Amino acid sequence: MLPILITPRCHVTAFKPHFDYKWIRDNAESIQRNIVARKAQGDAHLVAALYKDYVQRLQRVEQLKRRRNGIAAQVKAQVKSTKTKEVTASSTINAATPGGTQARDPSADDLIREGKRLRDEIAGIESATVALYAQLEHEAYRIPNSTHPQSPVGGEDQATVLQMVGQMPQFDFAHKDHLALAERWDLFDFEAAGRVSGERFVYLKNEGMV
């Protein structure tokens, strides 16, 4: 019986691309033209709109956090001031409040309630922002790479020759291209490849695999 080699499972980390959302926003028109030219399904204007909404939500959260921190500072200052008054005027406090403790300033309760409201609002916006960013990233993935500006738009009939190297050989017989030769010798399987990967793909077979 042959020994069985057990190896630890290998975890492969997939690196996500970094999207320049500001660049997409600032160049949405040209990017959209490239999308159309490449017959892709992306929407640069949608990505720009989602990014704008995303930034506005982040800014809103920062504003609310500053307000919440300001309220926390006010409550802390009032608590400190109350403790100071308890020490310096304990007899007055005991006379004014049964049980020997000073009643809390009603304004402090209002501040605490406002702080809790802000906390809940911040949590709600942050939760929605996570979902918004997932949508933003999904739409950004649909944008294809930018085509070189000098690349012709269209099919192979629009291709341009940049440079000819060497001389075109001349034959005294009717020569065949690679497709005709592959068909003649049964080297390509376009039908099976088309079912799996779509058009313009081919499987090599027989001597074509060598």
pLDDT digits (tens, 9 = 90+) for 116-135: 999 999 999 999 999 999 99
% the chain with pLDDT above 90: 42
Q: Residue 204 pairs with which residues in a beta bridge?
A: 188
Domain ranges of the chain: 21-141, 161-209
The predicted model scores a pTM of 0.62
Average pLDDT on 85-95 reads 54
pLDDT at 197 over 70: yes
Angle at 75 between CA 73 and CA 81, to 5 degrees: 100
Classify burial at 74, counting beta carbons within 10 Å of its beta carbon; exposed 0-12, middle 13-18, buried 19 or more.
middle
d(CA 201, CA 181): 17
> Could you tell me the pLDDT band of residue 95, with boundaries at 50, 70 and 90?
very low
Class of domain 21-141: mainly alpha
pLDDT digits (tens, 9 = 90+) for 129-184: 999 999 999 999 999 999 888 888 888 888 888 888 998 888 888 888 888 888 88
